[in-house]
Structure 1
Amino acid sequence: MTSWIATAGRWRFGGSLLGDDEAREDDPLGFMGDGDGLCSLSPLQRLYVFAACLVAGLACMFLSMIVFFKPIKFALLFTFGNLLAIASTAFLIGLSKQLRMMFDPVRLYATVVYIICVILALVCALWFQSKILTLLAIICEICALIWYSLSYIPFARRMVSQLFISCCDTEI
């Protein structure tokens, strides 16, 4: 059985430091690998940054609920929180792998719809300053984010689709 051991801020996998080239090649999960070579943080530091970004994103999303009746502030806080939460995973798996996964054919449409909804929410909030359009864009953004997130869970989209179809089926 393999073991993970923390040593001086670096993680050991099966006896060798993950910072070593051999350990990266032997890492069976490919998790917390090189980080595209752009990030010189250790795996433990990346976990800390991931957690900090995720907590900050969730805090922004929670704070956005406080200003729910001010759609412009709500849209800004909520969208910024979403972007922080999604960007936090780039510290775990690396930016290029994150982008490859986001634009994988399985989740390409969900990613594009989500990005369009984020831009639309910001445009409606900042440029048009329309409360109704901003709320509609935020609702679409939430739905796109849920659909995007479901693409990472095997068969989740299919189950949700079947559940929705069975709930909306009005045959007597």
Structure 2
Amino acid sequence: MKSITSLLRAEEEEEQQDPFLDESNCYCPLSPLQRLYGFGGCLVAAFLCMLLSLVAFARPVKFAIIFSFGNLLAIGSTAFVIGLARQVRMMFDPVRIYATSIYIGSVVLALVCALCFHNKILTILAIIIEICALIWYSLSYIPFARRMVSQLIVSCGDTEI
């Protein structure tokens, strides 16, 4: 009888120590299920914004605003799961600091080019940089993914016969 109760206590302690859906990760008192719903809702809204931005592709100002908002929703959706403070800490880890900085800079640049300069070419260029930075940032969460992609790009660019 003692072994079963001690096993149940050990499982409860492990669940309480699980940082993935820990209640202390968020300043709002959401249950783990509510956090997953928030994550899913934010992610669906992000994809809808990105799809809607394709409709507005002929107008770079609207495209940049909707597309950048969709990207920010996608990045922010993980804050529901792991918490905002942890998300910010992870974004500014030494491994991701450059990708995060370039991504945030390109989002700002795309919005400035679209809203202030009304320059279509610069806006499209900033959106391309934003997409590349988002991909590079996302690859930083997969072990060895950036190294493999770097080696693939180098091997594709190698023209030695």
Q: When the two structures are superposed, what TM-score results if normalisation uses the length of structure 2?
A: 0.89
Q: Which residue does the alignment assign to 2:55?
A: 66
Number of residue pairs the alignment of both structures matches: 152
Larger strand fraction of residues: 1
Q: Which runs of 5+ in 1 are unaligned?
A: 1-13, 17-21
If each structure's helix is expressed as a fraction of its own residues, which one has the higher value? Answer: 2
The TM-score normalised by the length of structure 1 is 0.84
Kept in 2, the 8 Å contact 1:35–1:91? The answer is no
- 1:102·1:111 contact (CA, 8 Å) conserved in 2? yes
What's 1:86 paired with? 75
Alignment deviations for residues 56-104 of structure 1 (CA, whole Å, 9 cap, x no partner): 0010001111111111111011000000011010000001110111000
- In structure 2, distance between residues paired with 1:15 and 1:148: 35
Note the alpha carbon deviations across 1:1-42, whole angstroms, 9 max, x for none.
Answer: xxxxxxxxxxxxx875xxxxx566432xx1111253411111
Structure 2 residue ranges without an equivalent (≥5): 1-9
SS in 2 for 1:89: helix
- The 1-side partners of 2:14 and 2:33 are apart by 15
Identity %: 66
CA contact (8 A) 1:68 1:74 kept: yes
Moved >6 Å (runs of 4+): none
Aligned to 2:86: 97
> How far apart are 1:145 and its partner, in Å?
0.4
Give RMSD over aligned pairs: 1.5
Tell whether the 8 Å contact from 2:26 to 2:82 is kept in structure 1 after alignment.
no
